[in-house]
Amino acid sequence: MINVETSSGGHSTPLQPSLRKWISIAPFVLDRKCSAWDNEAKWLPLSGEICKKSFLKFARYLYPTVICLLMIQLYHVYKSYEGSSAALSDITFTIAKGEFVFLTGPSGAGKTTLLKIVFGIERPTEGQIIVDGRNQSRINNRGVSLLRRKVGFVFQDFKLLPKKTVYENVALALEVIGVSPGEVRSKVQRILSYVGLRHRANFKPLSLSGGEQQRVAIARALVKQPAILLADEPTGNLDPELANSIVELFRDVNAMGTTVLMATHDKTLIERFGRRRIALDRGRIIG
Ligand SMILES: Nc1ncnc2c1ncn2[C@@H]1O[C@H](COP(=O)(O)OP(=O)(O)O)[C@@H](O)[C@H]1O
Ligand SMILES: [Mg+2]
């Protein structure tokens, strides 16, 4: 039996590296991407056609387990924008359900691009992305809207609508996915209380402090009770104390089962919270 989460404080235990390797190859094998087999299987202590056939059988058997355990899977993902050097090159990693992962790297490393690709608002130039068991290159419009329900995104520049109130900004996230008005009301009130902004519900975003605007953006991402929370430098413009309280909030959300991928270049925060780190530099994973 494989335990992804331990009961102690909701901290997630990273999968054993060897197990992670084994299960990460299964979707490729099932997709019959033999080049992926050739690239990925070198680490296997096996060789030859017989082993490959047995592994195929094993992988088919294993696939439901893969879906159960992994929330985000990227394989050989590349992204280039016209007229600039590659924003992402050969990005391969997996994140298990219930993990909290920091995505680190200097400005221009590719953090925002990577988060947008996982969220599905940017398409990779090459590579495979599987989010909660769904291969993004194959999903249709219905699949995209299902993905939007599951994933909350905290944008670096908040992207709040200035003419709408705090309440309306948060409610919109539910309205666009077709939640009924009664449910919208109760969920929005609950999440505004959770982030400590109930008293600001009728304020316009621009009349709030930077820290409060950030919490509105977080409330908007969390109100859907997403399975995954993606946050793009959510503490970038905040003083250290506020930054700490935001990551504590994410830690609590994570303890309740949401998988968190948070981009940051704040070394103090990363060290304080001591979670798994994926480090990017010039579009490549360096650690
Ligand atoms: N829409 C875009 N058009 C062209 N180049 C882009 C675009 N978005 C990002 N880039 C480039 O991709 C690289 C990675 O950017 P980004 O993902 O924003 O990095 P980070 O978030 O780590 O600062 C940078 O060189 C940036 O200039
Ligand atoms: Mg960025």
pLDDT one-digit tens code per residue, 151-177:
999 999 899 999 999 999 999 999 998
- Is residue 57 over pLDDT 70? no
180-185-186-191 Cα dihedral, nearest 10 degrees: 110
pLDDT confidence tier of residue 224, bands split at 50, 70 and 90: very high
- Beta strand pairing status for 126-131 and 70-79? antiparallel
Q: What is the pLDDT of residue 33?
A: 44
Q: Label residue 178 left, alpha or beta by phi (over 0 means left) and psi (-120 to 50 means alpha).
A: left
Quick: pLDDT tens for 77-112: 999 998 878 999 999 998 989 999 999 999 999 999
- Is residue 209 over pLDDT 70? yes
- Is residue 9 over pLDDT 60? no
* Least confident range of 57-61, 160-164, 177-181, 235-239: 57-61
Coil, strand, or helix at residue 86? Answer: coil
Starting at the edge strand that comes first in sequence, how are the strands of the sheet with 126-131 ordered? 88-96, 70-79, 126-131, 134-135
Give how far Cα 70 sits from Cα of 12, 93, 99, 120, 141, Å. Answer: 13, 11, 9, 17, 23
Closest atom of ligand 1 to CA, residue 232: 21
Contact predicate 28/40, CB 8 Å: yes
Closest atom of ligand 1 to CA, residue 116: 17
The CA distance from 40 to 74, in Å, is 13
- The first and second tokens of residue 103, run together, are 């995505």
Q: What is the pLDDT of residue 19?
A: 57
Q: What is the pLDDT of residue 239?
A: 87
Query: Which one of the ligands is nearest to 85 CA?
Result: 1
Distance of CA 227 to the CA centre of its chain: 9
Q: List ligand 1's pocket residues with C-beta within 6 A.
A: 81, 84, 87, 105, 107-113
Quick: pLDDT tens for 258-276: 999 999 999 999 999 988 9
Percent of the chain with pLDDT over 70: 76
Query: Which one of the ligands is nearest to 84 CA?
Result: 1
Nearest CA to ligand 1 atom 14: 110
DSSP state of 197: -
Q: What is the pLDDT of residue 11?
A: 41
Nearest CA to ligand 1 atom 8: 113
Distance from the alpha carbon of residue 173 to the mean position of ligand 1, in angstroms: 26
| Best probe residue, ligand 1, of 104, 112, 266 (max atoms within 8 Å of C-beta) | 112
pLDDT confidence tier of residue 138, bands split at 50, 70 and 90: confident
Nearest CA to ligand 1 atom 7: 81
Distance from the alpha carbon of residue 83 to the mean position of ligand 2, in angstroms: 19
Distance from the alpha carbon of residue 230 to the mean position of ligand 2, in angstroms: 12
278 φ, ψ to 5°? -115, 115
Nearest CA to ligand 1 atom 13: 87
Query: Which one of the ligands is nearest to 110 CA?
Result: 1
Element (H, E) at 59: helix 48-69
Nearest CA to ligand 1 atom 10: 87
